[in-house]
Amino acid sequence: MRILVLGSGAREHAIVNALLREAAEQEIIAAPGNAGIAAVATTVALDPTDPAVVADTAIDNGIELVVIGPEAPLVAGVADALRTRGIPVFGPGRAAAALEGSKAFAKRIMESAGVPTGRSLRASTLQDAEAALDELGPPYVVKADGLAAGKGVIVTTDRDAAVAHAAYWLHHGDVLVEEHLEGEEVSLFFLSDGTHVLPLSPAQDFKRAYDGDEGPNTGGMGAYSPLPWLPEGFIDDVMDDIALPTVRQLADEQTPFIGLLYCGLVLTEDGPKVIEFNARFGDPETQVVLERLKTPLSRLLFAAATGQLGGVPRPEFTDDVAVTVVLASEGYPDSPVTGRPIAGLDEVRDVSIAHAATARNADGGFVATGGRVLSVVATAPDFEGARAKAYAALETIRLEGGHYRRDIAEKVVGR
């Protein structure tokens, strides 16, 4: 199968690697890709948010399936353009992608579908935001309504910080002030063909920049899978109470959701509740979930894209655990320093590397081009072994000023 993967990050590198691991040979084109992806697949320079350009590229290259990685092309309507021209695509159209593109839209869908979530108040002015903060109380949760590259959310007990966050994002649109939900966070992905859903393995990611969940929110500094501490029946409960009602509500509104429904959950005393939906694979959770996937990924994605998930068995995963740790540039997430060389990649063993923001320099080596530079992914029969492999690799890789969290999956070792 000729598959076009849109995107340029570690998530897309993980998707490409999973497709290339299949027994049946797949011909992969990534657009625009990155330096790490270019080492294993063909890359094409294009704007992945331009619907016409993406559709023309797919037609010209005889593409049989398009997999959309990031959120921006989805919100731009790239999937709609592809479907109009008869190309199977894994990713929702613009209307359904509003589930991620607008927090207010997602809350309305959850309310209509009876999906458990926290209270939220929408604010169009700073006065409205301050009133909402006082009504819901601390800890304060403020979210930008639209896409914000993982930086639109603040959770804090500092009211002044919450007000400042609201004031900043109100320049870009409305904000939501939400009830703070207490409990462990869980990421659970569901494949959807617009009618049926299939769950993947749960994961937990780490949003804060520094150990002990300190520092600012980031796009994600690490993750692990599976979650052995989840209660029995958790996946089925989320599927029945959250994923299926959401997909059915969208179908009822003539906006079928075809692609990856990312359920960001909190396991509260009253059961799982949604803190956010995304309309695509999450990063860095994808790196650990797909590393353990046994079922051919292309089969799952094509079945979802063509409305055939109803007859597909649940995906199978290995018994191994997976841990990923993100190496970030100095100054990330506020002001990452870029352009510095990355050394030691050819010295690491027994892990996989998903590149996020790298390029080749004149000498053929890699340089960092963004904040989150790469993800080190390790598997082992237990978390202690997987963590040891991941951190041994990170000690070998050298990036001036680079930093990473040292406590990814640490707590689960003793559970």
- Which DSSP string do the residues of 345-392 spell out, in sequence order? GGG--SSEEEESSEEE-TTS-EEE-SSEEEEEEEEESSHHHHHHHHHH
pLDDT classification of 150: cutoffs 50, 70, 90: low
The DSSP element (H or E) to which 208 belongs, if any, is strand 208-210
Q: Own/partner pairs for 205-212, CB < 8 Å, 24+ apart?
A: 205/282, 205/284, 205/285, 206/405, 206/407, 206/408, 207/150, 209/328, 209/332, 209/333, 209/405, 210/405, 211/405, 211/406, 211/407, 212/407
Antiparallel, parallel or unpaired: β 65-68 and 89-90: parallel
Q: What is the pLDDT of residues 12-68, one digit of tens each?
A: 999 999 999 998 888 999 999 999 999 999 999 999 999 999 999 999 999 999 999
Task: State the first-to-last Cα distance of the chain, in angstroms, to the nearest integer.
Answer: 42
| Cα separations in angstroms, 68 against 15, 71, 173, 255, 267 | 10, 8, 26, 18, 29
User: Is a pLDDT exceeding 80 seen at residue 149?
Assistant: no
What is residue 217's predicted lDDT score, i.e. its pLDDT?
Answer: 86
What is residue 147's predicted lDDT score, i.e. its pLDDT?
Answer: 78
How many Å apart are CA 392 and CA 6, to the nearest integer?
Answer: 31
Q: CATH assignment of 2-91?
A: 3.40.50.20
Antiparallel, parallel or unpaired: β 2-7 and 65-68: parallel
What is residue 146's predicted lDDT score, i.e. its pLDDT?
Answer: 79
On the 0-12 / 13-18 / 19+ scale of CB atoms within 10 A, 30 is buried
Q: pTM value?
A: 0.94
DSSP letter at 243 equals I
pLDDT classification of 154: cutoffs 50, 70, 90: confident
What is residue 64's predicted lDDT score, i.e. its pLDDT?
Answer: 98
Alpha-carbon Rg for the chain, nearest whole angstrom, is: 20
Assign 311 to helix, strand or coil.
Answer: helix
Candidate CATH numbers 3.90.1170.10, 3.40.190.290, 3.30.1360.20, 3.30.1490.20; the one for domain 121-178:
3.30.1490.20
Q: Give the chain's mean pLDDT.
A: 95
Q: Which two tokens stand for residue 260?
A: 């990856």
Put the strands of the sheet holding 204-205 in their side by side order: 204-205, 222-225, 321-328, 372-380, 352-355
* Sequence ranges of the domains in the chain: 2-91, 121-178, 182-311, 321-413
How many Å apart are CA 81 and CA 261, to the nearest integer?
Answer: 20
CATH class of domain segment(s) 182-311: alpha beta
Nearest residue to 408 (alpha-carbon basis) of 389, 235, 344: 389
Dihedral (C-alpha) 282, 287, 293, 299: value to the nearest 10 degrees?
Answer: 60
Nearest residue to 96 (alpha-carbon basis) of 251, 204, 295: 251
User: Is a pLDDT exceeding 90 seen at residue 292?
Assistant: yes
Antiparallel, parallel or unpaired: β 366-368 and 358-360: antiparallel
Q: What is the pLDDT of residues 175-214, one digit of tens each?
A: 999 999 999 999 999 999 999 999 999 999 999 999 999 9
User: Is a pLDDT exceeding 80 seen at residue 151?
Assistant: no
Q: What is the pLDDT of residues 61-99, one digit of tens each?
A: 999 999 999 999 999 999 999 999 999 999 999 999 999
Helix %, strand %, coil % for the chain, to 5?
35, 30, 35
Candidate CATH numbers 3.30.1300.10, 3.20.20.70, 3.90.600.10, 1.10.1040.10; the one for domain 321-413:
3.90.600.10
Chain-centroid distance, C-alpha 377: 15
